[in-house]
Amino acid sequence: MNATAVLDAIARKHSNCALLREITVTDRDALDPVRDAWSAWKPGDPMPEYDGTPVYRRIDGLMLDGGATRTAIEVKISRADFLRETEEKRRPWRKITNRFVYATPTGLLKPEEIPDGCGLWEVDGNAVRIVKRAKSNPKPEPIPHQVLVALAYRLNRSPTEESL
């Protein structure tokens, strides 16, 4: 089973929701050390180095229901991929969504391995089962303008551009 098959099963299960795939968000917290360095800078100190490159965090799926619930879905197909996960990768998505879940083939992960607050959905063929419920973030931050602009560009592409 691959990530596309996992997301396809989730889309079928939640056919009343919009499932946006492979969305990125700027991780503003990743830039905080740079801001801190500049705010502490004094004349005569070496200049803090920063190349101006923003840090982006990608999520496999962003599910929006008809109400106000936003779900970040991170698909994991291998244990090795899951073991590379960090709070830094999850953080910007947890801030702007109501819940963050890992979606995996059945049996790949154990519920106790899932970070606090995150959920686990298992996919077996077309079946999607909630193994561990995600803790709800009742007041997520607004979706950043950068994400909306990226979605608008994606919607504005012609079908031939998408296949390139």
Is residue 40 one of the residues assigned to a domain? no
Task: Return the pLDDT at 164.
Answer: 53
Over range 2-24, report the average pLDDT.
94
Give 4-10's long-range contacts (Cβ < 8 A, gap of 24+): 5/123, 6/75, 6/77, 6/103, 6/104, 6/105, 6/123, 7/60, 7/61, 7/73, 7/75, 7/103, 9/123, 9/125, 9/126, 9/127, 9/128, 10/61, 10/63, 10/73, 10/103, 10/121, 10/123, 10/128
Is residue 43 one of the residues assigned to a domain? no
**Whether pLDDT at 102 is above 70:** yes
Instruction: Place 158 in a pLDDT band, splitting at 50, 70 and 90.
Output: low
**Whether pLDDT at 125 is above 70:** yes
Is residue 46 one of the residues assigned to a domain? no
Over range 105-128, report the average pLDDT.
96
**Whether pLDDT at 100 is above 90:** yes
Over range 35-49, report the average pLDDT.
67
Over range 24-29, report the average pLDDT.
84
* Number of domains composing the chain: 1
Is residue 82 one of the residues assigned to a domain? yes
Over range 132-156, report the average pLDDT.
90
Is residue 69 one of the residues assigned to a domain? yes
**Whether pLDDT at 161 is above 60:** no
Is residue 41 one of the residues assigned to a domain? no
What's the pTM?
Answer: 0.82
Is residue 47 one of the residues assigned to a domain? no
Task: Return the pLDDT at 32.
Answer: 58
Task: Return the pLDDT at 151.
Answer: 85
**Residue 157 sits in which domain range?**
3-32+53-162
Is residue 25 one of the residues assigned to a domain? yes
